[in-house]
Amino acid sequence: MDDDAISTHYGISGILNSILEGLKSSGKDLNSLKPEDLAPIDEFHTRGKESTLEITQLAELQAHHNVLDVGCGLGGSARYIADEFGCSVIGIDLTDEYIDVANKLTELVNLNDKVSFKQGSALNLPFSSDQFDVVWTEHAQMNISDKDKFYSEISRVLKPKGRIVFHDVFAGSTANPHYPTPWAEHESISSLCTQDQAKASITKSHLKIEKWIDKSKQSLEFFKNMAKKTDQPGSPPLGFHLLMGKTAKTKFENQTLNLEENRVSIVQGTASKI
Ligand SMILES: C[S@@+](CC[C@H](N)C(=O)[O-])C[C@H]1O[C@@H](n2cnc3c(N)ncnc32)[C@H](O)[C@@H]1O
């Protein structure tokens, strides 16, 4: 998989400015911004904040936990975890622009003492072994072809009995997805595996699967709604469309079809290091 092609897909220029403009148009004061003001844009995964709240339950977070967010994007989940649970969180992401914006948004909401971000690859995590209580990852795995390496790196940096919590897109049971999708303008940067293949890679990485929850049905409603409201007059200034370029509406429509036709599936889950 070509890292540059993935960074180019996500790293459209001027993201920070469009977010700041969107915040101002929504009536927010940039001098007294709260982490939740950023939720329409910085939770760049299916069902946004709703899903983040669900996986915090699965993670069983505690204030003393050291958390790593792999493929953190703009850092919304990392900031939420730090703000709500008091954990120390590091986010890592391939895309330079996202890391720059993640750091600036974190400064704006005064969470720099708890949260930091670093550019890097999930396949070569720049951390020593046995370091994190929780590894959190949402919607990054589908751009990564080497699943064994992805899960074995996560397992390596987890402390013994530490936990991975994930929320990811997998292949469905019928046919290949319609493209473009939110994670891939073209099929060439998509790396979907089946749920069974992911389970095999997780297990091979000395991780014991604890929870496996199919969220495809709830996700379908989300994409239908996003497709309907994107490009409508009066649609909110701040939203995922700012990150998805000119094909945003088509990506939402395709993902609706992909879920309806069982071409993709979406799962939340946890596994612990043996
Ligand atoms: C759809 S976004 C999700 C961002 C974030 N997890 C969230 O839920 O808001 C996917 C992210 O995965 C990152 N990513 C893809 N491949 C990666 C890799 N090999 N290593 C690190 N990050 C990667 C992309 O740069 C992008 O920021």
Give me the mean pLDDT over the 112-139 stretch. Answer: 98
3-class SS at 109? Answer: coil
Q: In the structure, what pLDDT confidence band is assigned to residue 240 with cuts at 50, 70 and 90?
A: confident
Cβ–ligand 1 distance for 139 under 6 Å, the answer yes
Angle at 218 between CA 244 and CA 44, to 5 degrees: 25
Task: Please check whether residue 110 is in contact with residue 31, taking contact to mean a CB–CB distance below 8 angstroms.
Answer: no
Least reliable range by pLDDT among 10-24, 99-113, 152-166, 255-269: 10-24
Q: Which atom of ligand 1 is nearest to the CA of 42?
A: 9
User: What pLDDT shows up at residue 142?
Assistant: 97
Burial class from Cβ neighbours inside 10 Å (0-12, 13-18, 19+) for residue 161 reads exposed
d(CA 120, CA 157): 14
Instruction: Encode pLDDT of 13-71 as tens digits.
Output: 899 999 999 999 989 999 999 999 999 999 999 999 999 999 999 999 999 999 999 99
| Whole-number percent of the chain with pLDDT over 70 | 99
Q: Which atom of ligand 1 is nearest to the CA of 150?
A: 19
d(CA 30, CA 17): 12
Cβ–ligand 1 distance for 123 under 6 Å, the answer yes
Query: pTM of this prediction?
Result: 0.96
User: What pLDDT shows up at residue 33?
Assistant: 94
Task: Please check whether residue 229 is in contact with residue 235, taking contact to mean a CB–CB distance below 8 angstroms.
Answer: yes
d(CA 92, CA 118): 5
Q: Which atom of ligand 1 is nearest to the CA of 183?
A: 1
Cβ–ligand 1 distance for 46 under 6 Å, the answer no
Distance 41 CA to ligand 1 centre (A): 14
213 has pLDDT over 80: yes
d(CA 119, CA 99): 6
Which residues neighbour 227 within 8 Å (Cβ) at sequence distance 6 or greater? 249, 252, 253, 256
Task: Please check whether residue 144 is in contact with residue 191, taking contact to mean a CB–CB distance below 8 angstroms.
Answer: yes
Give me the mean pLDDT over the 180-199 stretch. Answer: 97
Domain boundaries, the chain: 3-273
Containing 24, the helix (H) or strand (E) segment is helix 15-25
Instruction: Encode pLDDT of 130-153 as tens digits.
Output: 999 999 999 999 999 999 999 999
Task: Please check whether residue 239 is in contact with residue 42, taking contact to mean a CB–CB distance below 8 angstroms.
Answer: no
1 has pLDDT over 70: no
Distance 72 CA to ligand 1 centre (A): 6
Q: In the structure, what pLDDT confidence band is assigned to residue 232 with cuts at 50, 70 and 90?
A: confident
What the block records as the tokens of 6 is 């993935």
Fold of 3-273: Rossmann fold (3.40.50)
58 or 239, greater pLDDT: 58
119 has pLDDT over 90: yes
Cβ–ligand 1 distance for 240 under 6 Å, the answer no
Amino acid of residue 103? N
User: What pLDDT shows up at residue 245?
Assistant: 85
Cβ–ligand 1 distance for 154 under 6 Å, the answer no
Task: Please check whether residue 84 is in contact with residue 56, taking contact to mean a CB–CB distance below 8 angstroms.
Answer: yes
Instruction: Encode pLDDT of 65-103 as tens digits.
Output: 999 999 999 999 999 999 999 999 999 999 999 999 999
d(CA 232, CA 130): 48
Closest Cα to atom 26 of ligand 1: 73
Per the prediction, the chain carries an average pLDDT of: 95
Angle at 113 between CA 140 and CA 72, to 5 degrees: 5
Q: Which atom of ligand 1 is nearest to the CA of 43?
A: 9
118 has pLDDT over 70: yes
Distance 123 CA to ligand 1 centre (A): 12
The residue to which tokens 């974190």 are assigned: 106
User: What pLDDT shows up at residue 237?
Assistant: 80
3-class SS at 214? Answer: strand
What the block records as the tokens of 219 is 């996700």
Q: How far is CA 188 from the centre of its chain?
A: 20
